[in-house]
């Protein structure tokens, strides 16, 4: 009968996190049985290290050997699932660590969990327009677009692309403050007029908007974090997660219900 290690739970957590290859090795074995040679190639550590690690896993009852391959036990799969979730959470936290304050508040229904599988694009000192460029790439891939929020810095960089896409057939509905709409119109008058006259653009005005922009595309939603002090877009988080889309739709619809469509003649020059 196997004699399993009697280490504490804290000891086991420390053991898995002390060496970078241990959690990935255990997680890989939940996908399918693997040989030592496969695990050695997968993790990039030495064959002796993998042999020792598998022996330590066996001592804890996390894996068993079947011929020349190893597979997880139910205990091992249980631990691997927890470690995979923990690693994913830390990866998400690291991506958002310096920019989370620009994202929507919990009171809006937004949660960090919605960012787990998201593309997080952060403005860097050497590339301050990375989030805007990501936004433009999403615009180019969609046939319908909706947006609510106050992000004049976002529209400053992409207003021409946005208007051109609308004229070319993309249907768009934008809920924003009058001064943002008039800013885009005054700095890009011909294209803005063309977008309105195309019949593909609906403008709604609202004075009290969320501090973070919310964009809804065909297949993804985007959250735009804006720093009003520096008048800059700091981060763009885009995802196709169903729970994030449900949240974005609810935010958009709550503002849509409060704002009538603005006729062309009512937009001040």
User: What is the tally of structural domains in the chain?
Assistant: 2
Answer yes or no: is pLDDT of 267 > 60: no
DSSP output for the chain: --------HHHHHHHHHHSTTHHHHHHHHHHS-EEHHHHHHHH-S-HHHHHHHHHHHHHHTSEEEETTEEEE-HHHHHHHHHHHHHHHHHHHHHHHTTTGGGSPPGGGT--GGGGTT-EEEE-BTTBTTHHHHHHHHHHTT-SEEEEES--HHHHHHHHHHHHHHHHTT-EEEEEE-HHHHHHHHHHSHHHHHHHHHTT-EEEEE-SS--SSEEEE-SS-EEEEEEETTTTEEEEEEEE--HHHHHHHHHHHHHHHHH--B--GGGS--
Q: Please give the residue range of the domain that contains residue 60.
A: 9-91
**pLDDT, tens digit, 9 for 90 and up, residues 162-210:** 888 999 999 999 888 777 777 777 777 888 888 888 989 888 888 788 7
Is residue 182 in a domain? Answer: yes
* Domain shared by 188 and 117, yes or no: yes
* Domain shared by 76 and 109, yes or no: no
34-35, strands of its sheet edge to edge: 34-35, 69-72, 63-66
pLDDT of residue 1: 45
* Domain shared by 132 and 257, yes or no: yes
Is residue 1 in a domain? Answer: no
* Domain shared by 137 and 223, yes or no: yes
Q: How many CB atoms lie within 10 A of CB 219?
A: 10
**Average pLDDT across the chain, whole number:** 87
Is residue 58 in a domain? Answer: yes
Among 91, 123, 144, give the residue marking a domain's end: 91
CATH assignment of the domain containing 227: 3.30.870.10
Q: How many CB atoms lie within 10 A of CB 74?
A: 9
Is residue 3 in a domain? Answer: no
Integer Cα distance of 134 and 67 in angstroms: 49
Strand partners of residue 176: 205
* Domain shared by 122 and 246, yes or no: yes
Tokens of 76: 């091992």
Is residue 77 in a domain? Answer: yes
Among 91, 120, 148, give the residue marking a domain's end: 91
Return the closest-CA partner of residue 103 out of 188, 15, 221. Answer: 221
User: How are beta strands 201-205 and 63-66 bridged, if at all?
Assistant: unpaired
pLDDT of residue 23: 94
* Domain shared by 35 and 166, yes or no: no
Strand partners of residue 203: 174
* Domain shared by 60 and 127, yes or no: no
* Domain shared by 259 and 199, yes or no: yes
Is residue 4 in a domain? Answer: no
Give the model's confidence band at 264: pLDDT under 50 very low, under 70 low, under 90 confident, else very high.
Answer: very low
Tokens of 263: 């006729």
Is residue 75 in a domain? Answer: yes
Residue range 198-227: average pLDDT? 88
**pLDDT, tens digit, 9 for 90 and up, residues 104-146:** 888 888 988 888 888 999 988 889 889 999 999 999 999 999 9
**pLDDT, tens digit, 9 for 90 and up, residues 243-253:** 999 999 999 99
**pLDDT, tens digit, 9 for 90 and up, residues 58-90:** 999 999 999 999 999 999 999 999 999 998 889
* Domain shared by 114 and 189, yes or no: yes
CATH assignment of the domain containing 33: 1.10.10.10
Among 75, 91, 107, give the residue marking a domain's end: 91
Whether 163 and 192 have beta carbons less than 8 Å apart is answered as yes
Integer Cα distance of 34 and 63 in angstroms: 11
226 or 56, greater pLDDT: 56
* Domain shared by 112 and 82, yes or no: no
pTM: predicted TM-score of the whole model, two decimal places: 0.76
Is residue 2 in a domain? Answer: no
């Amino acid at each position: 009968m196997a004699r399993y290690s009697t280490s504490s739970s804290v000891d086991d957590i420390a053991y898995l996190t002390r060496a970078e290859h241990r959690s990935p090795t255990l997680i890989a074995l939940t996908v399918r049985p693997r040989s030592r040679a496969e695990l050695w190639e997968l993790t990039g550590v030495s064959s002796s290290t993998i042999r020792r690690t598998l022996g330590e896993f066996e001592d804890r009852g996390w894996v068993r050997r079947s011929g020349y391959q190893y597979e997880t036990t139910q205990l091992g799969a249980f631990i691997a699932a927890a470690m995979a979730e923990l690693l994913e959470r830390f990866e998400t936290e690291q991506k958002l660590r310096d920019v989370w304050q620009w994202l929507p508040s919990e009171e809006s229904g937004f949660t960090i969990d919605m960012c787990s599988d998201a593309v997080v694009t952060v403005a860097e000192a050497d590339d301050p327009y990375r989030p805007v460029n990501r936004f433009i790439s999403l615009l180019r891939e969609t046939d319908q677009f909706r947006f609510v929020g106050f992000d004049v810095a976002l529209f400053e960089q992409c207003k021409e692309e946005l208007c051109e896409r609308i004229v070319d057939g993309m249907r768009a509905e934008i809920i924003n403050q009058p001064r943002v709409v008039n800013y885009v119109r005054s700095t890009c008058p011909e294209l803005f007029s063309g977008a309105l006259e195309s019949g593909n653009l609906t403008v709604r005005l609202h004075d009290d908007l969320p501090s973070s922009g919310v964009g809804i595309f065909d297949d993804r939603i985007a959250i735009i974090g804006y720093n009003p002090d520096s008048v800059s877009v700091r981060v763009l988080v885009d995802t196709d997660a169903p729970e994030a889309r449900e949240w974005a739709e609810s935010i958009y619809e709550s503002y849509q219900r409060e704002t009538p469509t603005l006729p062309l003649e009512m937009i001040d020059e």
